[in-house]
């Protein structure tokens, strides 16, 4: 998600589908060398649990191109919808609930949920590209 999630139900945020990752990667924070798959600085921005809404099989919902779910994370909470627009491109939208609002959470809460570091601090500690991490540019 190049711009991060939005808590505003009127905002639609681009989310790019990637390959499944092993669960062991969920706690990784550091620098993957440039040129390797996924190269760059990696942060655990949020963590928690999710549940599909409407008693729908998530695999079938993804196949259809629309998945509604609830998050209970350290930062993101409430109901959300993912809608496929084209191939690997999806839109993430916050549903209107008690957790919706105007706060730009990607800006107001930029630190790792695990280590409380900024992306630039993780890059600097791991010998990564601090300038790229500061720009938020994934490429």
Q: Give the tens place of pLDDT for each residue, 116-128.
A: 999 999 999 999 8
Question: In this structure, is residue 3 part of a structural domain?
Answer: no
Can you give the residue range of the structural domain that contains 71?
Answer: 13-134
- Distance (Å, whole) CA 6 – CA 44: 17
Question: In this structure, is residue 124 part of a structural domain?
Answer: yes
Question: In this structure, is residue 6 part of a structural domain?
Answer: no
Question: In this structure, is residue 7 part of a structural domain?
Answer: no
Q: pLDDT tier at 138 (50, 70, 90 boundaries)?
A: low
Question: In this structure, is residue 69 part of a structural domain?
Answer: yes
Straight-line distance from the first to the last Cα atom of the chain, in angstroms, rounded to the nearest whole number = 12
Question: In this structure, is residue 5 part of a structural domain?
Answer: no
Question: In this structure, is residue 2 part of a structural domain?
Answer: no
Chain center to CA of 82: 12
Residue 136, pLDDT score: 67
pTM over 0.95: no
**Domain count of the fold of the chain:** 1
């Amino acid at each position: 998600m190049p711009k991060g999630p939005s808590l505003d139900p009127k905002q639609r945020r681009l989310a790019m589908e990637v390959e499944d990752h092993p669960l062991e990667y969920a706690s990784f924070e550091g620098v993957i060398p440039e040129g390797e798959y996924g190269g760059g600085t990696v942060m655990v921005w949020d963590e928690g649990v999710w549940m599909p809404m409407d008693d729908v099989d998530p695999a079938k919902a993804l196949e259809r191109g629309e998945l509604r779910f609830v998050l209970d994370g350290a930062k993101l909470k409430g109901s959300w919808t993912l809608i496929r627009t084209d191939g690997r491109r999806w839109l993430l939208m916050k549903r209107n609930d008690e957790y919706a609002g105007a706060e730009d959470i990607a800006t107001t809460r930029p630190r790792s949920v695990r280590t409380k570091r900024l992306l630039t601090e993780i890059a600097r500690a791991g010998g990564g590209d601090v300038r790229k991490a500061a720009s938020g540019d994934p490429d």
